[in-house]
Amino acid sequence: MKTPRASIIIPTHDRPDRLRRAIASAFAASKDVEVIVVDDASADETAQLCASIAGIKYVRAERNQGVAGARNLGLVASRGEFISFLDDDDLRLPNSLDDQIEALSRSPAAMLCYAQAIPEDQTGKQGPPFPDACRQGDIFWDLLKGNFIPCGSVVFRRRCISSAGLLDDSISRIDDWDFWLRVTELFPVIGLKTPVLVWRAPARNSRQGSSETVEVIELAIKHFRRNCRRMPRVARASRRQRQQSWRAFSMNLADHLAWETFRSLCAADFSRAWVCARTLFKLHPGVLVHLTWRWTRASTIKTFIAGQHEPEGMKIRFKEIRSIPDT
């Protein structure tokens, strides 16, 4: 049997309504691709749907593994030299996988290539591609501040698993960020400023892991303190660099928490607003000064006033303002 050049792994659990489109997009992403669907113990018609689609490799977990565990099952079952993950409600753009593999082929030292994603809300409305700046080369310290890599946009070489290991299934929802960190600690990466993915943005009740913003942030804080600080490259760094990395990580999360606090207050969800505010105090002491400066700028206030009747648009404009570097 001919070995495929690439493998796309699609974990899924009880969401067959969009799975067929995700599978079709995966086949369209490359001329030589193996599509693996990992059914994470679904209790609906997912198995029947997969049986009706020709050409896929179907793997079923009889016990729910979580997204990281499901991705690991897909990795074990895969055969491609290049590997990519795709969520079951996201879409790969045509030929995008081949374009990224070509970029990796031109840079033998790079083990990972990521690119931009086009966000799409629950109504189908699309926003501008992100991230705006696709940093490349040695991005480890930048990535330690927070995950800016869209998971489904990544293609990595199979052989880097022998150095970085599999995904950590104890930290589903941030398992991709942890894996990217382990890869970028050791190898340079390629960043392409071109969209390769349509990313389905989570809603509060969408059942996507990333929709639980505060819970994910809590998990990231614990992971940074317990694991990231012990990574060899971090442990060898100067005390000043380690302190700066924690401060930068905290500032990034503070902006997210501030937004969630504001949105919860607007929705009269005072319990959630309190949880967000309480989490803020677990971060670097300087976050309060940082937030005061950010949130009292005229540009931020104008954004709130202009977008008070258009919450989602206001969120997008706020993110643009928030992304302006401190000077």
163-214 pLDDT, tens digit each: 999 999 999 899 999 999 999 999 999 999 999 999 998 765 544 444 477 8
Element (H, E) at 155: strand 155-157
Separation of first and last alpha carbons in the chain? 57
DSSP symbol at 284: -
What is the C-alpha to C-alpha distance for residues 91 and 16, in angstroms, rounded to an integer?
Answer: 14
Mean pLDDT, residues 208-232 taken together: 83
How many degrees, rounded to 5, is the angle at CA 150 between CA 161 and CA 244? 85
Q: What percent of the chain has pLDDT over 90?
A: 67
DSSP symbol at 3: P
Q: Which distant-in-sequence residues (6+ apart) come within 8 Å of 204 by Cβ?
A: 211
What is the C-alpha to C-alpha distance for residues 131 and 108, in angstroms, rounded to an integer?
Answer: 24
What domains does the chain contain, in order, with CATH numbers? Answer: 6-200 (3.90.550.10), 212-296 (no CATH)
Contact 25, 91 (CB under 8 A): yes
Helix then strand then coil, % of the chain, to nearest 5: 50, 15, 35
Which of helix, strand or coil describes residue 51? helix
Contact 212, 173 (CB under 8 A): yes
> Residue 297: pLDDT above 80?
no
Virtual torsion, Cα 223, 226, 227, 231, nearest 10 deg: 140
Q: Confirm whether pTM is higher than 0.75.
A: yes
What is the C-alpha to C-alpha distance for residues 59 and 50, in angstroms, rounded to an integer?
Answer: 10
Quote the crossing angle between the two packed helices 287-295 and 270-280, to the nearest 10°: 120
Instruction: Render pLDDT for 280-293 as a digit per residue (tens, 0 to 9).
Output: 877 877 766 666 66
Instruction: Render pLDDT for 14-57 as a digit per residue (tens, 0 to 9).
Output: 999 999 999 999 999 999 999 999 999 999 999 999 999 999 99
> Residue 13: pLDDT above 50?
yes
Backbone φ and ψ for 65, nearest 5 degrees, come out as -100, -15
CB atoms under 10 Å from CB of 261, counted, come to 21
